Amino acid sequence: MSPTRLKAPNVKLPAEYEAETQRQPQGMDRRRFLNYTGWLGILGSLAVSLLGFLRFLFPRVLFEPPTQFKAGLPADYAVGAVDTRFVASQRVWIIREENGFYALSAICTHLGCTPAWLATENKFKCPCHGSGFRRTGVNFEGPAPRPLERVRIALADDGQLLIDKGKSFRQEKGEWSSSDAFLNI
């Protein structure tokens, strides 16, 4: 009788094991896929963090136009008149009185609209909500909560009027009596 070899159902012989391990799978197995996905996520988050850090080294800068401008010689302005030539470009009115000058900001104190100068009525009238301001800038009608602001006015070295919109003066704080809010000539 020849000896028969009994084979256990779950036990693989060495030859069968080698043949199975040498076969290449057709696609990527699950373990390798999850490994690659995990490393891709980690490296991706590091790359985004590095880009954010590099962007932090170059801050955003806002370049604004200068707040000062020259408005011409004092002789160019008529006494008792409101000059409107800088309303469109600078949002400023220049008013000449008998004893000097002052400059009003052309920004309504209600919502920031640009009021219009009505020479026939001798007042500034806001077209948005109807606020009215006297020639001095004091509000007398409409929803504007306070008078118009004055801006700094001075004489430049060359004798021209120098207007600085970066410095404003508010009447309710008593700043209209400041030497920079009114130019005596």
Helices (H), the chain: 14-22, 30-56, 87-90
How high is the pLDDT of residue 14? Answer: 62
Q: How far apart are CA 94 and CA 152, in angstroms?
A: 11
For residue 110, the tally of other CB atoms under 10 A from its CB is 18
Give start and end residues of each alpha helix (H) in 60-135: 87-90
For 107, the token pair is 């920004």
Q: What pLDDT, on the 0 to 100 scale, is given for residue 167?
A: 93
Is 13 strand, coil or helix?
coil
pLDDT value at residue 94: 95
pLDDT digits (tens, 9 = 90+) for 93-127: 999 999 999 999 999 999 999 999 999 999 999 99
Summarised one tens digit per residue, pLDDT across range 126-171 is 998 999 999 999 999 989 999 999 999 999 999 999 999 999 999 9
By C-alpha distance, which of 85, 81, 127, 131 is closest to 109?
Answer: 131
Pick the CATH number of 68-184 from 2.102.10.10, 3.40.50.620, 2.60.40.3140, 2.40.160.20: 2.102.10.10
Cα 64 to its chain centre, rounded Å, is 10
Identity of the amino acid at 38: G
**Nearest residue to 183 (alpha-carbon basis) of 158, 149, 156:** 156
Residue 26 reports pLDDT greater than 90: no
pLDDT of residue 40 exceeding 60, the answer is yes
Cα 119 → chain centroid: 35
Stretch 69-85: mean pLDDT, rounded? 92
Question: Given pLDDT bands bounded at 50, 70 and 90, which one contains residue 3?
Answer: low
pLDDT category of residue 15 using cuts at 50, 70 and 90: low
Per-residue pLDDT at 24: 56
- Asked if the model's pLDDT at residue 18 lies above 80, the reply is no
